[in-house]
A = this chain, B = another copy of it.
Amino acid sequence: MHLMKKFAVIVAGGSGSRMGTDMPKQFLSLQGKPILQRSLEVFANTFPDIHFIVVLPEKYFNEGKLSANNSGISIPASFVSGGATRFESVRNGLAKVEKNSIVFVHDAVRCLVSRDLIERCYYQAVDKGSAIPAIEVKDSLRMVLSGRTEVIDRTKIRSIQTPQTFQSDILLAAFSQPYHESFTDEATVVESYGQAIHLIPGEEHNIKITSPIDLQIAEKILEGN
């Protein structure tokens, strides 16, 4: 199959409350560069022909545009308002996606994603319809039940990352469904539409930067590269 057109829906909807800062975490500086800018750069370095759709609160459009300008991406990014839920935010972004393309849906705060993972997501989604990065978990896990907890077999559990990557026709069709509270990520929306999803190996360092300690960890990971 020849190369398909590529869209990256970068979800940067957070309000930053968990970070204890006024500025949402996707604009915090990591080694002198905003996290959102880093996310844009790694995708653009992997696929220079990618089209970016950045979903974020309208009041932060200016910061978003600054990050996009400074990232040096070659195709101007689109900016779209976030919604009340992740489903709504992503659906708003998907309005700009074309048929017969590959769509990456990525958390802006996972700026440590590697080019290798983005490439693997692309080729697997071309081949299998979707590619969802997942890693094993190291700690024991328990499920909270009424008044007690129950251990669950951690060898059967996978921790899900982004970019969740799909052929656009599958993703657009799935997002035509009315919202349901079980739609916690794109994979759940696609499954609810009756399509199987396809897990691929994620990366331990592809962390979600949501707390001050994560920011420290991300700095250390960058130093180690």
Which residues of A are interface residues toward B (Cβ below 8 A)?
134, 137-145, 148-149, 151-152, 154, 156-161, 182, 184-185, 187-188, 191, 196-197, 199, 204-205, 208, 210-211, 213, 216-217, 219-221, 223-224
Contacts and interface: CB of A to CB of B under 8 A. Distances in A.
A180 to B, nearest CB: 12
B148 A196 contact: yes
Contact of A151 (B149, B152, B187): B187
When all copies of this chain in the complex are counted, the total is 2
A154 B137 CA distance: 13
Contacts of A148: 196
B208 A216 contact: no
| Residue of A149, A156, A159, A191 with most chain B CB atoms under a 10 A cut-off | A149
Contact of A142 (B158, B208, B213): B158
Contact of A139 (B160, B216, B224): B160
Given A144-B156, A159-B137, A221 B216 contact: yes
Given A217-B220, A224-B213, A184 B151 contact: yes
A95 to B, nearest CB: 24
Given A159-B137, A216-B224, A151 B188 contact: yes
Contacts of A219: 220
A152 to B, nearest CB: 8
A158 B139 CA distance: 9
A158 B141 CA distance: 6
5 contacts: A134-B149, A139-B208, A141-B160, A142-B187, A142-B199
Contacts of A196: 148
